[in-house]
Structure 1
Amino acid sequence: MGLRPPPGVPLVRSVERAVALLRAFTPRQTHLSLAELSRRTRLDKSTARRLLHTLCVTQFVEYDDAAQTYSLAPAVLTLVPAVDYGRELRDVAEPVLARLTEITGATAFMWSCFGGQALCLDRVKARDLQIDAQWSAIGTRISLNCAGGPRVILAYLSEKERAKVLRKDLPKHTPFSETDPAKLQAAAQIIHERGWELAVDDYIVGLAGLGVPVFDRSGRFIASISITTLSPRLPIENGEPRHLKAMLEAAAEIGARFQP
């Protein structure tokens, strides 16, 4: 499945700019002013305003006149059912992740690599009202230097792909986030050898994530799955993280059932 357009076709600059405006919104910043959108996209305010007006008319963006901010509109959601990327894997993984959440009491995720980041393909949230955190939802992308599932993806990238990721400026979400390329490279080798990663407090302080790889029937790495909960709930027991066996069994089941 190719994600690149055919060669020789010129890009339409206005479309690129409109997409940049849509991508400026994040789960943590859903309402943005014209000035902030202009700054994030490096567009002058006049250009940004015209594009935003068109996006409002087509119902992909909403404008709050009282707050003078823009936000994504419901028309964006109408595109989601037509996205084919990861559909077969999600269909296979959904019941397995649901069962994993029931067994562990943690929120379960499935991740793939997209654009040098971890893309959340599916999520089953635990019924735990004591945890107040903004959970990654389907479609969320986070850097590969943080969290159990994403760090597993980093470990199973090719050397060339990993080097490309590590050349970028990596975000430091918490004081415990690792951003040093040499240390991340060394950690990736360890993760690859042992087949799991326990990341503690490096994405959200107070939460830990346990991630493992998913392989298809041919042994090809296709995704990672992870569980996230309060850090004390994922201790190391007899040299292994709690729930590791359940995680490995879930990953094996997904891989065995997946037919690309």
Structure 2
Amino acid sequence: MKKQHAKSTNNESTSIDQALNILEVFSEKNAKLGVTEISEILEMSISTVHRTLLILKRRGYVEQDSQRGKYKLGLRVFELGCVFQNQVYLIEVAMPHLEHLANLTNETVNLAILDHNQREVVYIAKIDSPEVLKTDIRIGTRLLANCTALGKVLLASLPEREIERIFPKKKELPTYTSSSISTFTKLKEHLREVKSRGFAVDDEEFKTGVRCLGVPIKDTRGKVIAAISITGPAIRFSLEKIEKLKSTIIEVSSRISERIGFKTL
């Protein structure tokens, strides 16, 4: 059974490589290509190229010219490019505000989004605290959404039925510390509170001795697309300090949202 599984995994990996190679063969010079042309460029069999193109076409990654039969990149590739471009734009808009917030608080400030699996947050920008004692989270880091202020703010923006799909009801949730939310019931109740308050606090749930305050960022439609946070060591970033900084970080997130196009009523 193990050998069959390994063989299946290798076949899937090969198929993915073949699909990506075909997508990458398109360029300004080769905007439209036929099956034979792709086969010759990639030294791949015509049957493999044809089969892979049919899958890519069905998924919207390539389109076929009805008259000449040649293929070009499809709308789905453009949509993914827009997602990436929007993230770059978000970072550009947010950075001056993150720097302002970091200067005000002397703590580390982060910008994050939900990963596609919606169980993790991905850190896409940060401003480090000038203090010697600070959190060491790098850009690109992924952390459990249910154990971070950023993640809880982002999860709270989702419909409850979506939360039920993401997290199994009967299983213990993955955790980092004894303070992490470990059950679906507790998470669901907590997210309702977060949604009502408009902010989330990570009280040593990601790491013992570290606290975090997170708030959402909204786009032109009012949809939560990202979150920002202030993170610091618990000995310096007390719950009293968090209480005082709530209005400050909410104001900063509102400014970022307004720059993106969100309008408050």
| TM exceeding 0.5 | yes
SS at match of 1:243: helix
Q: Distance in 1 between matches of 2:85 and 2:224?
A: 19
3-state SS, counterpart of residue 145 of structure 2: coil
For 2:105 and 2:133, locate their aligned partners in 1 and report how far apart those are by CA, in whole Å.
15
2:203 maps to what in 1?
200
1:78-101 per-position Cα deviation (integer Å, ceiling 9, x unaligned): xxxxx5461111110011111111
- Using a 3 Å threshold, how does the CA distance of structure 1 residues 16 and 223 change in structure 2: closer, same or farther? same
Cα shift readout 1:25-45 (whole Å, capped 9, x = no counterpart) = xxxxxxxxxxxxxxxxxxxxx
For the pair 1:125 / 2:128, whether they are aligned, the reply is yes
Distance in 2, matches of 1:121 and 1:257, equals 18
Q: Secondary structure at 1:229's aligned position in 2?
A: strand
- Contact 2:102–2:129 (Cα < 8 Å) also in 1: yes
Q: How far apart are 1:252 and its partner, in Å? A: 0.4
Q: Which residue of 1 aligns with 2:183?
A: 180
When Rg is computed on C-alpha atoms for both structures, the one with the higher figure is 2
- The secondary structure found in structure 1 opposite 2:146 is coil
1:245 matched to 2:247? The reply is yes
Matched, 1:110 2:134: no
Structure 2 vs 1, CA of residues 235 and 242 (structure 1 numbering), >3 Å: closer, same or farther?
farther
The unaligned stretches of length 5 or more in structure 2 are 1-10, 18-83
Contact 1:213 1:251 in 2 (8 A): yes
Query: 2: distance between equivalents of 1:15 and 1:244?
Result: 49
SS in 2 for 1:209: strand
Matches of 2:16 and 2:136 in 1, distance apart? 29
Instruction: Label 1:258 to 1:129 Cα distance change in 2 as closer, same or farther (>3 A).
Output: same
Q: For residue 236 of structure 1, report the CA deviation from its aligned partner.
A: 3.8
Shift of 1:193: 0.2
Query: Aligned residue for 1:190?
Result: 193
SS of structure 1 residue aligned to 2:181: coil
Between the two proteins, what is the percent identity of the paired residues?
26
Q: Deviations over 1:213-247 (max 9, x none)?
A: 11234322121111100124333449x72311110
Give me the TM-score of the superposition, normalised by structure 1: 0.64
Any conservation in 2 of the 1:234–1:241 contact (CA below 8 Å)? Answer: no
Render the CA deviation track for 1:124-148: whole Å, top value 9, x for unaligned.
Answer: 11111123x431x222221111121
Q: Distance in 2 between matches of 1:114 and 1:161?
A: 14
Give the length in aligned residue pairs: 184
Question: What TM-score, normalized to structure 2?
Answer: 0.63
Distance in 2 between the 1:134 and 1:16 partners? 34
Specify whether residues 258 and 232 from structure 1 end up closer, same or farther in structure 2 by C-alpha distance, changes over 3 A only: same
CA RMSD of aligned residues (A): 2.6
- Within 1, Cα distance between the matches of 2:261 and 2:15? 35
Q: Distance in 2 between matches of 1:85 and 1:113?
A: 14
Q: How does 1:53-202 map to 2 (within 5 A)?
A: 84=85, 86-115=87-116, 116=118, 117-131=120-134, 133-135=135-137, 137-167=138-168, 170-202=173-205
Distance in 2 of aligned mates of 1:106 and 1:212: 16
Structure 1 or 2: larger helix share? 2
Q: Which runs of 4+ in 1 moved over 6 A?
A: none
**What is the CA–CA distance in structure 2 between the aligned matches of 1:15 and 1:84, rounded to whole Å?**
28
SS at match of 1:242: helix
Listed as ranges, the matches of 1:199-238 within 5 Å are 199-237=202-240
